[in-house]
Structure 1
Amino acid sequence: MIGLTVSPEVALADESVKIQAWGLPPQELITLRAWLKDEKGQIFQSRAFYKTDDDGKVDLEHTPATGGDFHGVHPMGLFWTLKPVTPFLRLLKRDVKGSPFYVHLELYHQIEITSSPKEPPIISKIVERWYTSPHVQRVQIREGRIRGVLFLPPGEGPFPGVIDMFGGVGGVLEFRSGLLASRGFASLALAYFAYEDLPSFLGAMDLKYFEEAAQFLCNHPKVSGEGVGVLAICKGAEMGLAMATYLPQVAATVCINGTNAVNGNTLSYGDLFIPGIPYQTERLLFTDRGTLNISRTMDDPRKPEHQDSIYPVERARGPILFLVGEDDQNYDSLFFAKQALARARKYRKKDVYLKSYPKVGHLLEPPGSPFCPVSQSPFFPLPLTWGGELLPHCRAQEHSWKVIQDFLRKNIPCSRRNKL
């Protein structure tokens, strides 16, 4: 009897799974295929080839893939390499509370050369990948100007509060906040443009909006009011660094692949006005794949004419952690992070840290997320290049997710914590 097991079959999306097959002929070549359909009906799929051992077994924790979308022993390789049938799509979970991603795992006796086999699999399993645990509460937020979605862990709290922001895609993305709440954080997925009645495009930024969000989260009865954390990527990381620098409510900040200065859009905060460093659009690079590389469009903030745009990170109340992909092809994020770190040291602020990952691109996401080196953006005519290499990038996603949680738990003041 041929068997295929996946453990656990129902899990959070940031958890690893164990995949085993048995009852097969010894030393036989087989194909394991994974696929899912996203909420827009788009198919993402992956496959890898394996050779059974003398007992007719395959265990992805020990058996190396001999080919397909990856080589070697990588238990989560089939999840890491899920790629769209339609080019340049990014796998994003929109409805994080209502349904999981259903990942179909299929076993075939032979090496399947075609990505969509005509014959049915010998055996298959369906794995549920959820972005919130069952008792996490999802609350739509429309308080004053604030727009977003708050995720609350089960229990009375108080929980460490985190404001979670993304970049140039706009709107509100909830998947990371859902996972954070499942790990014990009260996480506010904050929108700041292209959502409901917020501006449709990213224009002049008012830091008062973000201060309102930070104060709202501090005041929530299930959140410790002693300060909140910020976790942000890309343009969101730029705004997160502004929050860290100027807002007293911000106790700890994680900036993923961001900058150290205001770019493009102006930033105001009461009487404070910070000009944005103009984008150098003439530096856009068109790649051989028909995609855009925009990493050179941001000017050097060290130039004399840009000094007023640099964030004085030494003013930040709490610690700041820069997480950087060294092969980021959207921002020169390692350069910007080093500049911020140098400024902090110059002014004797000792709690600014930099963790960089070689061969890692821009989209550093929770573990289990497929590697996405390029995808379409709603605000560019061509797909954007994000950079990175498959295995280093996916390993960095696993490592950085733990680093993020440890940093936020350690540095967000919270008088009492529930056991996680």
Structure 2
Amino acid sequence: MKHITVVGGGFAGLTAAITAAEAGSRVTLHEAHHTLGGRARTAEGPYRTNEGPHALYRGGPHWTWLKQRDLLGPLAPLPLREAARFRFHRAGALRRTPPLGFLRHTLCTADQAPVGTDFLTWATRVAGPTAARTAAAFSAVALFHHDPGSLSARFVQERLHRAAALPPEAHYLRGGWGQLVDRMAARAWDLGVRIKTSSRVDTLPLADGPVVVATSLPAAARLLGDPGLTWDSGRTVLFDLALRTRAGDPFVVSDLDAPGWIERFTAQDPSLAPAGQQLLQAQLPIAPGQSKADGVAHAERLLDLAFPRWRERTLWRREAVSTGRTGAVDRPGTTWRDRPAIDRGDGVYLVGDQVAAPGVLSEVSFTSAVEAVSLALRAHRLDLKRA
């Protein structure tokens, strides 16, 4: 392979660059931002926030890939006393346990759910209306959508089953995802990848080899001149909050009445905030007609119930809307195979979390990146045979 160009230095772009370099290709990676990471960046300063929760699921393929290359790094284990502080908001009150019907429904695997039926209809038949509504609201933690019940039952059930697994599949990296990005970047440098930051690519590179486009789907549509590169995604308010520490604050508050979630990230990783402080993030999916203020108001209602005197204890806060950046969501009758194809023809490959690759959350980015490089190498070998 003469050369592979990667456009985008987030998790998908770095995965593609490392995979190609390990196969013997020369690789150049372009990143428009002055730092690598994309949505996997961790903010600098006293509060180490991510642009989203960024959990790594232990059962996913990227877990093994990262572990084999010694890239996982130290994890942030959750103390048992904190695990006991999981709270559920239901019918206007905080509870220690969810409904029994919900727990039973989480045991169903994805292959038991139909692709062509919406989740709420199917789950109501299986577990009853109360458990179905509860399961739909809870599943938003792994898909960031305001109405999970309207999505494909197969799609939602896969995420619900894995998000509610015991022991938990979700793990967090000590110091935030930025630490993983740094390790991946160092691995890429060691393999000879040429990394160019502050290098915006506005036209498709005229390279002497394949091009892997590892940007958001809207950015890829502009770069490739293909307005048909679209897929549904969620729209979520991210509400970061630093509070003075108070003994007894919950670890997680999951809203079972409406999709929404608050997590105290310093429960498992105190290094994310200064001593004596704790860092929270609320994730509140909002509908197309709703505003950031609606999501913030939802978060504040949950905070009022779960975190006594939180306003008096607030030291820092930040609010943002994440639009079209929360991964693909599949409507009834569609699967990951129906999303925009990885192979765009003429040596161009598309990767990211909204393309035709399986997995949950960041697994889609990883799987598509490995597949793109595999397809590029296969095409190159065929060209050599023809020559």
* TM-score relative to the length of structure 2: 0.27
Higher strand share: 1
Normalized per residue, the structure richer in helix is: 2
Specify which structure has the bigger relative contact order, considering alpha-carbon pairs within 8 angstroms and separated by 6 or more residues.
2
Structure 1 length-normalised TM: 0.25
